[in-house]
Structure 1
Amino acid sequence: MKFIKTPVKGMCDMLPADMRMREHVLGMIKESYAKYGFMQIETPVMEHIENLTSKQGGDNEKLIFKVMKRGADLQRAIDSGNQEFADNGLRYDLTVPLARYYANNKENLPTPFKALQIGNVWRADKPQKGRFRQFTQCDIDILGDDTNLAEIELIAATSDMLSQIFAEVGISEFTIHINDRRILSAIALQAGFKEEEIPSVLISLDKFDKIGLDGIHAELVENGYGEDIVECYLSVYKATESVDCAAFCSNISEKFLERSVIQNVEEIISCAKAMISDQVTISFDPTLVRGMGYYTGPIFEVSINGYNFSIAGGGRYDKMIGKFSGQDVHATGFSIGFERIITILKDKMDNGAKLGTDNLAILIAKDVPLDKKIALFKEAKTLREDGTVVTIQPMRKNVKQQITKLENEGFNNFRKIYKD
């Protein structure tokens, strides 16, 4: 059988330099979020297929890596003519597992519960640049808090974390966009769309940055919506730059939108501003949609100049956990685009994350006597106890090339040991 040395399509090998950077960033994320009281948890990489196909994951449910039933269970499914041969699947995000986790463990958890979850997820997506089938997600969530303190804490904590990470590559400015799904729904209802049509309308609005109002107009009409309704709907979005929430929503009837929703968004923005760096912009963005259908209130996203993707996003999803436990739980979350952050850092760093200045490579020639080796091993033990990174290697014939490779791995101190 042929041995294939390349990874499975859509998955990547991680070289030492890659892992050094990833572990460095993960360490900063954990340390930063711990200061805000978030507690790290872990859920299994495999979930019940019923949970993964609960219609809470949007298009991600089409991308599940399913795990077949085994043994007698599989045979029974085949014999019965059952077309579902899977009983489990690899998780496609961390939110669905969190919902199950909380429903199962809530009696042993504090209220509100501030969770930090980091782990790999899998999606049977079409691989392309920056899009993989296995990748790391990093989520923070606050469960059991029905106030906007949850949104404020999530935004402040994430802004603080991103500011620390990007400071290492000279980036201090990024933008936090905020909107509310209830505002999006109110605009559509007032224009004349039916409740059940709103998800389809928002899918088109979500393309605002890519196709603009003209493109959205054409798409909605093509989808069968009346010209008058589409014109009325999009007229609200003709002036969206530098507009505050109250001004934007001033023409939305209270029949469709409670004034408390507007006040809530403005409170989140003003309170978060008091906690984040002055160089970070936080503003109301009426065209922000967020693709997941489970959001029920405020939504937010983070973008950075020069990149056409968001680096973090989330919102309130008060109805999702109840789908599993039978009892609704107030919930708000922020998902950090870990892989995208790594992409930006790689763009800005010349040689990736370094080991630090306290490191030493000891290269030992082939004929060095045993007593001298033992002395070196004892010295290395003492140096490691004092915090120095020490690697001991046999000296190669081409020692210059050996040193160059070690330098590329972050070593900058060397000792070459010969017989005499």
Structure 2
Amino acid sequence: MAELDTPSGMRDFLPEVMQLREYAIETIKGVFRQWGFLPLETPAMERWETLAGKYGEEGEKLIYHGFNSGNLGDEPLYFSRKERPELALRYDLTVPLARVMAMYGHKLAKPFKRYQVQPVWRGDRPGAGRFREFVQCDVDVIGSTSLLVEAELIAATHEILTRLGFPDFKIRLNHRQVLRGMIETVGLDPSQESTVLTAIDKLDKLPPEKVRRELEAKGIPTAAAQELLRIVTLHPAHPDWPNFVTQLSQSPSGQHGLAQLTEILALLQAYGLPAAHYALDLSLARGLDYYTGAIFETIIPTAQVGSVGGGG
């Protein structure tokens, strides 16, 4: 009976599974509170103009639009693709937080540390382990530029996964300014940054050859695409790393980003995080347009999904 199916990419949770989900969510909230974060909730729907233009071209395509049918009269509900929607389901919890700060920021002490655990919606074609409706467990800090913020968020993530009993996980780190420096060193124009990052962000899902072809199809010269794909495989123990650092130092953006990454790694060591649980990864891009500094993403090999969390 197809009429009884849930919409594609959405799920029911029966009691046995819900007990596990509630245990996990309460554990996560407990760690957030321990690190000094305060709770926040926002509506499932936002005004379309609040969400529009915040996620980049790829993300924009995945937003569910909503219309207030009470304002449409008695005519059949037909919509043009060009018709501007009134409302949209939230794509994530970060842009709604920005809207909250614009409205109420003057009332909140800074730095404002908040956590938010609510569902979000993305209208894509979900692969294995991914869904159109899912719960985000989100934390953000507003009003501080200290790199302790990044280290604290990563340390809190580490504590959550440890408490939930995951022995094998890795937090990947990179920096948007390092990526910008890489783009500059291969001779590309800054206007091509979004194109490059959108493609590189797919390296955990697609083989490098397909990513190279996508870059070329979007106007990136073959030599530059090949060099970018070579660079993102480098790490501090690689023989070519010193040459990469020398090249990157010619870009103010790249030099700044690498210095901040170095400081964050030192802070994680000071927090006592096991080195096996975090690593620098130049292939990490995170496709959303609002990232400007350090970025990070968590993978659990046994989970058989691309990532279980990320931010920046």
Q: TM-score scaled to structure 2, two decimals?
A: 0.87
Contact 1:160/1:276, CA 8 A, preserved across alignment: no
Letter of the 2:105 counterpart: K
Indicate how the Cα distance of structure 1 residues 279 and 163 shifts in structure 2: closer, same or farther if over 3 A, else same: farther
Q: Give 2:189's match in structure 1, choosing from 178, 186, 194.
A: 194
The size of the alignment, in residue pairs, is 307
Q: State the partner residue of 1:224.
A: 219
Shift of 1:17: 0.6
Post-superposition CA distance 1:149-181 (Å, at most 9, x none): 11011111111111101x2xxx32311111111
Q: State the partner residue of 1:99.
A: 98
Indicate how the Cα distance of structure 1 residues 238 and 10 shifts in structure 2: closer, same or farther if over 3 A, else same: closer
Q: TM-score scaled to structure 1, two decimals?
A: 0.66
User: Counterparts of 1:33 and 1:276 in 2: how far apart (Å)?
Assistant: 19
- For the pair 1:249 / 2:245, whether they are aligned, the reply is yes
User: Counterparts of 1:198 and 1:227 in 2: how far apart (Å)?
Assistant: 16
Q: Residues 402-413 of structure 1 correspond to what in structure 2 (within 5 A)?
A: none
Q: State the partner residue of 2:298.
A: 302
Percent of pairs with identical residues: 34
Letter of the 1:198 counterpart: E
- For the pair 1:123 / 2:119, whether they are aligned, the reply is no
SS in 1 for 2:160: helix
Q: State the partner residue of 1:268.
A: 264
Post-superposition CA distance 1:261-285 (Å, at most 9, x none): 3221111111112325437422211
User: Counterparts of 1:217 and 1:253 in 2: how far apart (Å)?
Assistant: 25
The structure, 1 or 2, with the larger RCO (C-alpha pairs under 8 Å, 6+ apart) is: 2
Q: State the partner residue of 2:52.
A: 53
Shift of 1:196: 1.0
User: Counterparts of 2:292 and 2:73 in 1: how far apart (Å)?
Assistant: 39
User: Counterparts of 2:155 and 2:240 in 1: how far apart (Å)?
Assistant: 20
Shift of 1:239: 3.5
User: Counterparts of 1:260 and 1:214 in 2: how far apart (Å)?
Assistant: 30
Unaligned runs of 5+ in 1: 316-420
Q: State the partner residue of 1:31.
A: 30
Shift of 1:69: 3.0
Letter of the 1:257 counterpart: S
Bigger Rg over Cα: 1
- For the pair 1:204 / 2:199, whether they are aligned, the reply is yes
Contact 2:51/2:95, CA 8 A, preserved across alignment: yes
Q: Give 2:287's match in structure 1, choosing from 285, 291, 298.
A: 291
Contact 1:245/1:265, CA 8 A, preserved across alignment: no
Contact 2:182/2:254, CA 8 A, preserved across alignment: no
Letter of the 1:191 counterpart: V
Indicate how the Cα distance of structure 1 residues 176 and 296 shifts in structure 2: closer, same or farther if over 3 A, else same: same
Indicate how the Cα distance of structure 1 residues 24 and 133 shifts in structure 2: closer, same or farther if over 3 A, else same: same
Q: State the partner residue of 1:349.
A: none
Q: Residues 255-404 of structure 1 correspond to what in structure 2 (within 5 A)?
A: 255-257=251-253, 259-278=255-274, 280-306=276-302, 307-315=304-312
Q: Which 4+ stretches in 1 moved above 6 angstroms?
A: 73-76
Shift of 1:37: 0.1
Q: Quick check: 281-290 or 225-234, which moved more? A: 225-234
Post-superposition CA distance 1:325-345 (Å, at most 9, x none): xxxxxxxxxxxxxxxxxxxxx
Unaligned runs of 5+ in 2: none
RMSD value, Cα: 2.9
Q: State the partner residue of 1:163.
A: 162
Contact 1:173/1:279, CA 8 A, preserved across alignment: no
Shift of 1:294: 1.2
Post-superposition CA distance 1:34-90 (Å, at most 9, x none): 1100111111111001112234354232222222134456689x9xx9953631121
User: Counterparts of 1:12 and 1:23 in 2: how far apart (Å)?
Assistant: 16
Post-superposition CA distance 1:383-418 (Å, at most 9, x none): xxxxxxxxxxxxxxxxxxxxxxxxxxxxxxxxxxxx
User: Counterparts of 2:20 and 2:28 in 1: how far apart (Å)?
Assistant: 12
User: Counterparts of 1:205 and 1:83 in 2: how far apart (Å)?
Assistant: 30
Contact 2:59/2:288, CA 8 A, preserved across alignment: no
User: Counterparts of 1:83 and 1:213 in 2: how far apart (Å)?
Assistant: 35
Post-superposition CA distance 1:217-239 (Å, at most 9, x none): 44333433333433444443454
Post-superposition CA distance 1:333-361 (Å, at most 9, x none): xxxxxxxxxxxxxxxxxxxxxxxxxxxxx
